[in-house]
Structure 1
Amino acid sequence: MSSLVLILCGLALACGAGEVLVRIATADQNNYLIEMWRYATLLKRESSDPAIGHEHIPGASARLQGVEVSINSLGMRGPEPDLTTRDKERVVIVGDSIAMGWGVPEKDTLRGQLAERLGPDVEVMTTGVGNMNMSQTVQHWLEYSEKIHPDTVILLATARAPIIQKTDQAGWLVRHSQLYALIVSFVEMTTGSGSGEEGLVDSYRAVWGGGPGKAAMDSAMDRLMQDQEEHGYRVIVLLVPEPHSFDPYRFGFINSVMATEIQKRGWVLVDPLPVMEAAPAESYWVASNDVHPNAKAFQIFADLLVPELARSKE
C-alpha cells in the first residue's frame, strides 16, 4: 500500500513539475497550441445554443500571441459599436478566427482596416469567433441580426467551412492544464488522417465533395439567405485562400464549389487569390508556425472589399 502511495505521489509531483515547465516554456506566447488553449480558456464560454457551441465572453480581454484582444459588451472583438445613430451604415464581418483577427492587433484586422478606410459614418463590426465552421458562424450571426440591422454582411468562407467541429465542452483537465491540453493536441495531430499537403488536399476534396459537413454548410447559407431576404441587407462572400501554399495552388476545387453556391444565391463573390498568389503563401502568415492571415493579407482583403461596399450605395 505504501508503495502505491509513493508511486501516486511521484506521478502527481511529476505532472505538477511538467505543468510548471510547460507554462514557463510557453510564457513568451509563441506556442500556437497553447495560445489557442488560452484563448478558449480566457475569452470563450459555452453558448446556450448547441448549434453554435461556444462564444466570446462579453467584456473579457487577454493578451494572446503577443496581441491584446478585447471583447466588447456584445461579445464581439473590437470597440463598442454605435447602434443608436440613425442612418449610420452598418457592415458586419461574419466568420471564424480569421474574421476575429487572430494574432493581429485590432487596428490591422480586417475590421480595423475597413473601419479606418470607410470612416466614421460607417460602423464596422465582426462576429468572428475562433474554431467555428460555416454552420456555426452563420447561426452565431443570426443571434445578432435582429439587433444590428446591417446594410452589408461580409461572410468569410474558408477551406474549413464544411468541416464538422466538436461542439461539446472540453473536460476539466483540458480546460485547466496546459500540459494535458498540449498532449491531447499532439495526439490528435499525430493520429489524424493523412499528412503533408497531399493529405490536406485529399481531406478537403472529401468534405467539399459532399457529405454531412457540406450539407450543413449549404443549409447555413440558405438560412443566411432567408435572413437576408427578411432584413434586406446585402451579402458579400470573401473566399479566403487555403493558406499553406500558392505554388502551385491545389485547392481550386473549393473556389469552384463556392462560386456555384454563391451564384445560386445571388451574392457577390470576392476572391483574393489572383492578387495574393503573386507572393509566397508564407508572406501572409501571422507567424512562422501560424497560417492565420497577417496585416498584409487583410490589407488585400480590404482593397478588394472597399469598392464592392461602395457599389452597394449606388
Structure 2
Amino acid sequence: MMRSVLLVVAGIVLGCLAGEGLVRLGTANQKNYVIEMWRYANLLKQRSDDPAIGHEHRPGQSARLQGVDISINSLGMRGPEPEPGRPAVVIVGDSYAMGWGVDEAETLRSQLAGRLDAAAPDARWQVLTTGVGNMTLSQSIALWLRMGDRLSAYPAGAIPVKTVILLPTVRSAEPQMPDNAGWLVRNSELAALAVTFIRQAGSGRTGRDDLVAAYRDTWSGGPGREAMDRALDRLAADAAARGQRVILAQLPDTNDFVDYDFGFMTTIMADAARAHDWAFVDLLTPFRGETAADFWVAPGDVHFNGAAYDRIADQLVPYLVAPAAGAAR
C-alpha cells in the first residue's frame, strides 16, 4: 500500500516538474503576458511596509520583461535618476503610467519630456513617473504621497515638483487586492498560469456586457470607490499644501474605441476634477473611432504602445507649457 502511494506521489511530482519545464520552455520568448507579469512581480517588485501602498518597485533593479528593458532608479521609479533642483512634472498611476511593454524612449514619461524640452527649453522641465503595475488609484496616490516626501528630501538635493499628472485607468476604483500569493505561485510558472485561469473562469465575466456591467458596479460604489474618493481628497490637500497643480488625465478603456461603453467612468472623474478645481483631460479624444488593437503593445495585451503615448503627450503638453490656455474644464 505504502509503495503504491509513494509511486503515485512520485508520478505527480515528476508530472509537475515536467509541466513546469514545458511551461518555462514555451514562455522563454517573453510573449506570454501572464508569465511576464509574474516575472515582473518577482524581479522588480517588493511588498511595501505601508499597507495602503501594498507593493512597490525595488530600487536600483532592472530586468528584461516582455522583450523590453525596464530599469528602476534609486527612488523606485522607472527611468533615470531625478536631477536635483530641476522643476519636475510627475506622472502618477499604474502600469500605464509606468509604460508596461514599451521601450523607455517611447514611454509617456520620455515622450512628454522631449516635447517639453522642445516647447519650453528655458523651463528645464524633467518628467518623472511613480507608476507601478497592478495598483488601484488609491494605492498609486498613497505611493505618490510618500514619494513626494522623498523627492523633497532627496539626498543630492530637493526636486521641486510643480505639476502632478494623475493618470487613472478603468481599474482605478477596484478594491485593493491582498498580497496572498503562496510560495508555490511565487516560484512556479505553471502554478501562476493555473491560478490565473481559475480566477478568470470563476469571475463570472463571460463577455463584453458582463465586463462593462461589473465595472459600472465597481465605479458606482463600494470599498474600492470609497478608497479612491478618499485618496483624491488626500491628494488635493497635499497638492494645495505643496503649491502643486494637478491635472487629472483620464485614460480610456483600451478594448474598443468605436463602441465605447465606459463614459460613466469619464463623467465620474470629470466631476472629481471639477470638485477639486483641477484641470481635466479626456484621453479618449485622440482615439475615438480608431481601431483599438492598433495601439496595443502586443496582441492580447491591451496596454498602450508608443504610438498611443505619442498622441497622449500631444494632448498634455498644452496644459504644461501654457497652463492658462490648457486649463479649460
TM alignment of 1:14-93, pairs within 5 A: 14-82=15-83, 84-85=84-85, 88-93=86-91
Moved over 3 A (4+): none
Q: 1:138 maps to which residue?
A: 141
Deviates more, 1:9-18 or 1:268-277: 268-277
The 2-side partners of 1:218 and 1:28 are apart by 41
**What is the Cα deviation at residue 274 of structure 1?**
2.1
Q: 2:156 maps to which residue?
A: none
Q: 2:322 maps to which residue?
A: 311
Of 192, 195, 203, the residue aligned with 2:214 is 203
The aligned amino acid for 2:165 is I
CA offset digits 1:223-266 (Å, max 9, x no partner): 00010111010000111001111221111111111111110000
Of 264, 272, 277, the residue aligned with 1:253 is 264
Task: Find out whether 1:300 has 2:303 as its counterpart.
Answer: no
The 2-side partners of 1:260 and 1:230 are apart by 22
The 2-side partners of 1:313 and 1:68 are apart by 37
Task: Find out whether 1:234 has 2:241 as its counterpart.
Answer: no
Deviates more, 1:23-32 or 1:265-274: 265-274
Q: 1:243 maps to which residue?
A: 254
Percent identity, aligned pairs only? 52
The aligned amino acid for 1:141 is W
Task: Find out whether 1:186 has 2:187 as its counterpart.
Answer: no
CA offset digits 1:134-180 (Å, max 9, x no partner): 00000000111123341000000111100013132421111100000
Secondary structure, aligned partner of 1:20? helix
Deviates more, 1:114-123 or 1:178-187: 114-123
The aligned amino acid for 1:70 is S
Preserved CA contact (<8 Å) 2:90 2:163? yes
TM-score by length of 1: 0.97
The 1-side partners of 2:102 and 2:308 are apart by 11
CA offset digits 1:187-237 (Å, max 9, x no partner): 001110222210111001101111211111100000000101110100001
The aligned amino acid for 2:88 is R
Secondary structure, aligned partner of 1:273? coil
Preserved CA contact (<8 Å) 2:130 2:143? yes
Secondary structure, aligned partner of 2:161? coil
The CA RMSD over aligned residues, in Å, is 1.2
**What is the Cα deviation at residue 284 of structure 1?**
1.1
The 1-side partners of 2:293 and 2:237 are apart by 38
TM-score by length of 2: 0.92
The 2-side partners of 1:227 and 1:195 are apart by 41
**What is the Cα deviation at residue 272 of structure 1?**
1.9
**What is the Cα deviation at residue 313 of structure 1?**
8.1
**What is the Cα deviation at residue 24 of structure 1?**
0.2
The aligned amino acid for 2:130 is T
Deviates more, 1:194-203 or 1:37-46: 194-203
The 2-side partners of 1:29 and 1:301 are apart by 27
The 2-side partners of 1:183 and 1:165 are apart by 22
Q: Which runs of 5+ in 1 are unaligned?
A: none
The aligned amino acid for 1:49 is D
